[in-house]
Amino acid sequence: MYGSEYNKVTDKIIEGLKDICGEDYVIHDKDSMESYTHDELSTAEVKGEYPEVIVKPDSTEKISQVMKLANEKKIPVTPIGGKTGLTGGMIPVYGGIGLLLERLNKKIEVDEDNLMVEVDAGVTMNELYEAVEKKGLTLPIHPTTGDSQVGGTIAANAGGEATLKHGVMRDYVKGLEVVLPNGEILKLGGKLLKNNTGYSLLHLLIGSEGTLATITKAILRLYPSSEESKFIIVPFDSGQNAIKTVSDMMKKGIMPVGIEYLEKETITHGQKKVNENWPTEIGEATLMILVSGENEDEILEQAQKIMLICQERGAGEAFLATKRQEMEKIMKIREGIAEVIQEGNVTGHRSGDLVVPPSKIPELIDKAKKIFNESKLEGTFYAFGHAGDGNVHIEGKLPEEGVDWNEVKKVRDKWIQEAIDLGGDITGEHGIGLIKKPELRKFKSKEELRLMEGIKKLFDPNNILNPGKIVPEDEEIERRYIKI
């Protein structure tokens, strides 16, 4: 529907791109482009695609010129950040220009008076943390792997395990510099804590997954970094009891940084994978609670209050990880769980980060497990998630051979429908990108889709910026790239 409208990248266009970016920063041999064909999304789910050419501009002005050229010649452009996304969002499905942000990484200017940082979009999250922590400040959320870039993390509106207390990326973005698909440079917001000037284009662009504009700079809010943090591990005899303690804590004004929910089988597989022992008995459900405070005494005081609340719900003996090695061991098992799940055939990312009101997590998990067990699928059901913020990772690990992918699709759709019926939605963290487009169309109202498509057309009338993502529909592209 859309692909045929694009022109190919000709030698003349490559020369034009070299004039803008410099000879060394325009690449079009296949071998050098291989690593820019896919993100972290399992290749079992979606195959990658080569751009026709890659450009590596190092300034906003050069990006603007690249966009002007691409818009005039009707060449698709896909912004590529740290490639850690989990939705295929940076896969250049129509070829064209892969716009790498990695050389836009010079500026990290910390403003200690206003507690803000002005940062180039290509700076990695790890580089950003290091720079602000040197000044005794922090960006309290650690939403991704650290290899992701500031621009990509804003484009994905990433969240993470600290969302319960500290929110998501959107809560920290106060200003953006962006390049529109027609090449115009736009500055939105600033070092402002309040700003009600018209529609918030700033917030529209946060989470727009590179489909409306390319982010080139951001102003982020910082906080003094005075906090230490520790894990408390608490086993429960049921998921319901575990989740009820989360609202018990909130009602008593206790706000941990994050709360992870883990089911028995999930922990068992995780510890086996990394050959480590979980520090408590493994209950039917376990809460992994991250608490923070200015010093150890403050953390201990908070931990005691939390453990008391958990006991009132019949929790088993809790464990407070005070030593670094203990924290690392727990994280190792947690990472082991993610590794086990990602190996081989799985139900996958299209239903992997559902979000429901936090109190509904056990209900969703029970229903999802029942759907999985009653289906024709063989395999193991896993459930874990950010209990505090309602973002559950549910996954079915499937046999190596003979998977009935039509049945997987049916199971996945039923899971999504259950989440929606419980007042939830399709994705709490990873976004729509390429992989969840069919689900967006299936589960959102026509009116919502009409508005989204209208916004896309307004920003990008030629549909050149990251086409084939979020909206609009292109069944052929979806059939070609989404294998299951």
Evaluate whether 151 touches 121 at the Cβ level (below 8 Å).
yes
- Which of 94, 10, 105, 16 lies closest to 55 in space, CA to CA? 16
CB of 482 to ligand FAD, least distance (A): 15
Residue nearest to ligand FAD (CB): 152
Is the separation of the CB atoms in 348 and 393 below 8 Å?
no
- Minimum CB separation of residue 80 from ligand FAD in Å reads 5
Nearer to ligand FAD, 300 or 338 (CB): 338
Query: Of 214 and 345, which CB lies nearer to ligand FAD in the complex structure?
Result: 214
Residue-wise burial string across 239-255, b where 16 or more C-beta atoms lie within 10 A, e elsewhere: bbbbbbbbeebeeeeee
Over its C-alpha atoms, the chain yields an Rg (Å, rounded) of: 23
- Contact residues for ligand FAD, defined by CB under 6 A: 39-40, 78-86, 89-90, 101, 121, 143-145, 148-149, 151-153, 155-156, 158-160, 209-210, 214-215, 429-430, 433, 466, 469
Nearer to ligand FAD, 155 or 408 (CB): 155
Give whichever of 71 and 302 is closer to ligand FAD, judged by the CB atom. Answer: 71
Nearer to ligand FAD, 214 or 462 (CB): 214
463: which 2 tokens?
Answer: 């549909």
Q: Report in angstroms how near the CB of residue 468 gets to ligand FAD at its nearest.
A: 10
Q: How far is the CB of 418 from ligand FAD (least distance, A)?
A: 22
CA 118 to chain centroid: 22
DSSP 3-state helix, strand, coil percentages of the chain (rounded to 5)?
Answer: 40, 20, 40
User: At closest approach, how far in Å is the CB of 81 from ligand FAD?
Assistant: 3
Output the smallest distance, CB 30 to ligand FAD, in A.
20
Residue type, 73: K
Q: Which is nearer to ligand FAD, 215 or 392 (CB)?
A: 215
Nearer to ligand FAD by Cβ, of 180 and 233: the residue is: 180
How near is the Cβ of 88 to ligand FAD at its closest, in Å?
8
Q: Which amino acid, residue 20? A: I
CA distances from 94 to 51, 86, 248, 474, 476 (A): 8, 19, 50, 11, 11
Distances (CA, A) of 97 to 67, 79, 133, 417, 464: 10, 9, 36, 37, 10
Cβ atoms of 195 and 187 within 8 Å: the answer is no
- Measure the CA–CA gap between 157 and 209, rounded to whole angstroms: 8
DSSP H helices in 169-293: 201-205, 239-251, 264-274
Is there a contact between 426 and 440 (Cβ–Cβ < 8 Å)?
yes
Residue 287 vs 309, nearer CB to ligand FAD: 287
Closest to ligand FAD by CB, 210 vs 283, is 210
Residue with Cβ nearer ligand FAD (81 or 283): 81
Tell me how far, at minimum, the Cβ of 444 lies from ligand FAD, in Å: 19
Shortest distance, position 407 Cβ to ligand FAD, whole Å = 27
Q: Of 80 and 288, which CB lies nearer to ligand FAD in the complex structure? A: 80
Distances (CA, A) of 183 to 12, 74, 213, 389: 19, 13, 9, 38
Nearest to 284 by CA among 304, 302, 303, 267: 267
Pairing mode, strands 258-263 and 26-27: unpaired
Shortest distance in whole angstroms from residue 211 CB to ligand FAD: 7
CB of 74 to ligand FAD, least distance (A): 19
